[in-house]
Amino acid sequence: MNKIIDYPLVFLSLVFCFLSVQSQPKYKYDLIIKNGTVIDSKNEIYAFLDLAIRDQKIVAVEKNISATAAPKFIDAKGMYVCPGLIDIHSHNFHGTEADQYLSNSFTALPPDGFTFRNGITTIVDVGGAGWRNFKTFKTQTIDRSKTRVLSFLNIVGNGMRGGVYEQDLSDMNPKLTALLAKQYPGVIVGFKLAHYSGFDWTPTDRVIEAGNTANLPVMIDFGGSQPELSLEKLLLEKLRPGDIFTHTYAHVNGRIPIVDKNGKLGAFVLKAQQKGIIIDVGHGGGSFDFEQAVPALAQGLKPNTISTDLHTGSMNGGMKNILNVMSKFLNLGLSLEEVVRANTWSAAQAIRQYHLGSLSPGNEADICILNLRNGNFGFVDTKGLKMSGTQKLECELTLRSGKVVFDLNGLASESWKK
Ligand SMILES: [Zn+2]
């Protein structure tokens, strides 16, 4: 029997084959980073490996990925390829209101101007906004920034407005604070108490109540009371495992220092860390003294997280930026792996964002490439005192969601001569 040829069907099949060939990707990956030393603490990687990105995600971390498997590759020879850094203590509720300290004010800094150039891809504003003004912070800063901006909501409804606002117990509402956090999961990732200056545990109890209600961690900037409240009671009785003690290496009026006048680290501080309290740096403009940090480190108290406490009062002082603070700790004896871990996987765990802070395939491609410079450098604390050092970290390149967002020496650029 003669076969009847179905011409329309043949035509459609040919068109389909042609389209399939056309839609085959020309390259396996979008971007490859080659020849660098990968530091990924979560996955216990510290090795010469290549990394491939496709559709804004990390898809492979392997040896010898072919440079031709993507339209573009970055040569990271002699450099360190790390997850994008996370700064868990910053102040970014930037605005133009006068006399509002770190809430919708000039003193708080717009994130993108200070993050990518330092390898940061995620920044946490701690306490700038409270439940009353969080929506302003979200529309004004969070939604408009390329940096991933998260929030620790202040237990004070008005946020960090300074002055009388932060002393108002009647504006510390754990119920409303927790309720708002539940409406923004993954954006509001904890609660903050700061700057309260009374001999009173009520503010601490309120912020922890919010933490219990929303099942989120709290960060405490403790002190300001005369006589001083017991630091041992705060760390061992009040805070829960996973809560964050910031400004650890400070020596300021109104807060008991962790190292006493004889140079002895309080045993309760190590005990608290063992119990699971996160020891955070929160360098700031007044909260990091070598007089505290050097003996504390010598007696075993390494920080879990190395944050900046970024605002206009710290960025031009001894703090400068996150890489400068990490470099201080390098020169104080921490290893490169330890300082990178503190601001990647440990920071992600502290804010309970487990999809961040590592180079696991499937993660959004937030990556930084760091250089470790050798030379003669000086590091200054918040009393204005100096320590010399020989190592300094520098950010070469930052990728946010697979896109180059900072490139110091044009690693990802073609030569103009081409
Ligand atoms: Zn702060």
Tokens read off for 50 = 């290549």
Q: Provide the pLDDT for residue 242.
A: 98
Query: 330 C-alpha vs ligand 1 centroid, how far in Å?
Result: 23
Angle, helices 202-214 vs 174-183, to 10°: value is 30
Query: 311 C-alpha vs ligand 1 centroid, how far in Å?
Result: 8
Q: Which residues does the chain have with pLDDT short of 70?
A: 1-25
Which residues form the domain of 246?
85-359
Q: Provide the pLDDT for residue 19.
A: 53
Q: Would 70 be classed as within a structural domain?
A: no
Q: Provide the pLDDT for residue 14.
A: 58
Query: 255 C-alpha vs ligand 1 centroid, how far in Å?
Result: 15
Query: 309 C-alpha vs ligand 1 centroid, how far in Å?
Result: 5
Q: Provide the pLDDT for residue 418.
A: 86
Q: Would 230 be classed as within a structural domain?
A: yes
188/351 Cα distance (integer angstroms) = 10
Element (H, E) at 205: helix 202-214
Query: 82 C-alpha vs ligand 1 centroid, how far in Å?
Result: 26
Q: Would 159 be classed as within a structural domain?
A: yes
Q: Would 55 be classed as within a structural domain?
A: no
Query: 407 C-alpha vs ligand 1 centroid, how far in Å?
Result: 28
Query: 128 C-alpha vs ligand 1 centroid, how far in Å?
Result: 9
Query: 125 C-alpha vs ligand 1 centroid, how far in Å?
Result: 8
Query: 178 C-alpha vs ligand 1 centroid, how far in Å?
Result: 21
Q: Would 202 be classed as within a structural domain?
A: yes
Any idea what the CATH number is for the domain that residue 322 is in? 3.20.20.140
Number of domains in the chain: 1
Q: Which residue has the tokens 């960060």?
A: 219
255/229 Cα distance (integer angstroms) = 7
Is this model's pTM higher than 0.85 or not? yes
Q: Provide the pLDDT for residue 1.
A: 45
Of 165, 163, 158, 92, give the one whose Cα is nearest residue 122: 92
Q: Would 417 be classed as within a structural domain?
A: no
